[in-house]
Amino acid sequence: MVMFDLKQIRREFPILKEGTYLDSAATAQKPKIVIDALKNFYETENANVHRGMHTLSEKATAAFEGARTSVQKFINAKSSEEIVFTSGTTESINLVAKTWGKENVGEDDAIVLTLLEHHSNITPWIQLKDENDCAIEWVELDKDENINLTQLSEHLIKGNVKLVAVTGQSNVTGVRTPLKGIIKKAHEAGALVLVDAAQLIAHHPIDVQDLDCDFLALSGHKLYGPTGVGVLYGKRELLESMPPFLTGGGMIAEVKRDHFTCAGLPTKFEAGTPPIAQAVGLRIAIDWLSQFNWSDIEAHEQSLIEKAFQELNKIEGLTILGPSDPKNISGCISFSVDGIHPHDLTDIVGQKGVFMRAGHHCAQPLHEHYGIPASTRLSVGIYNNEDDIAKVAPAIEEAKKIFS
């Protein structure tokens, strides 16, 4: 491990000179070592993987499979064969819904979702409901703005829940869900659990064996890696039982005129040319992040969230969504300002060089719960500092003057 030196960390992100970036929940910026790794791959190793009988293909294959091993170790999966490369969290969840879900969830069964979910962990299950006539059961929020575990138990006790699909961390309120407790409850009721770790993965260590989750999805670009690559983790026995999601080159063992057989794990879920360069970049991002202690990362980011929470609460007419205690928030804070649409506010603040997000953040059911169509979101990464946070409130006050 290396010392957590924020000034040195910031120097590794050349794009930070463009402004105050507070939109890491949408996509994290990339350290130069990741950018250089992509360039190096295309200049010295670029070839297709697994099927070439030449030196470049062997190098590319070794780099690609090395990335798979890095992901396996990073989330502590039992085997690299439980790591499937996808285009991102969205594809990973759709893969489960359209393979395992289609074959295992029928008209008498239910899928449990929570009000904290991103659309990517809602719409695939609604599609499954429309196709298989299963039920969707919703878990609301409790008084602490977290998942109502009593209501979850009420759904599970019915005995027809096949899957609980739950985020590890809200991309709106920053709430971290009690995953171990949820997974234990679900398993006791005979249900599986899929974890959407898109937000959690860059802010908190994940151990899939300790959690005992059945599936877990993540995106590389939230983890300081490239866009276009993600991961589906699944327990081996589940992945082996599932049909392929896509068919074509690379995922087959044999093709005849009237039938085909699939290759083994994880290849049967990686049809076509996979995201080779992106996976290599993800490996470098994981290696880069892993040099720091998680305790240092979490303490640093928590201090920024608490400072932002305090500064935002001083602004008249501003309402923070979610918990009233910043210690229960991780990664991001979303808020609304009386009399200003979030799009207008974020546009004006952005013109002042403070880059945040506006919209429903692909979480419309949660925004409906709060009675608003959209919000502004401030989200932090490892590279942010107190100066970044200090610029937010003055920029918002300036925007308020325009609308007063």
Active site residues: 362
The answer to whether 75 touches 92, Cβ cutoff 8 Å, is: no
Which segments within 129-224 are labelled E, that is strand?
135-139, 161-167, 192-196, 215-219
- Short-list 390, 2, 367, 373, CA closest to 173: 367
d(CA 298, CA 292): 11
d(CA 144, CA 357): 24
d(CA 191, CA 285): 34
Enumerate residues 6+ apart whose C-beta is below 8 A from 208.
75, 76, 77, 216, 233
The answer to whether 9 touches 388, Cβ cutoff 8 Å, is: no
Three-state DSSP state, 359: strand
Amino acid at 30: K
Q: Is 2 exposed, middle or buried (0-12, 13-18, 19+ CB in 10 A)?
A: exposed
Report, in this order, helix, strand and coil percent for the chain, each rounded to 5.
Answer: 45, 15, 35
What is the CB neighbour count within 10 angstroms for residue 151? 17
C-alpha distances in Å from residue 143, one per residue of 112, 150, 210, 322: 20, 12, 28, 10
d(CA 179, CA 174): 14
The answer to whether 204 touches 358, Cβ cutoff 8 Å, is: no
- Determine the Cα angle at 134 with ends 132 and 135, to 5°: 155
The answer to whether 324 touches 73, Cβ cutoff 8 Å, is: no
Enumerate residues 6+ apart whose C-beta is below 8 A from 397.
315
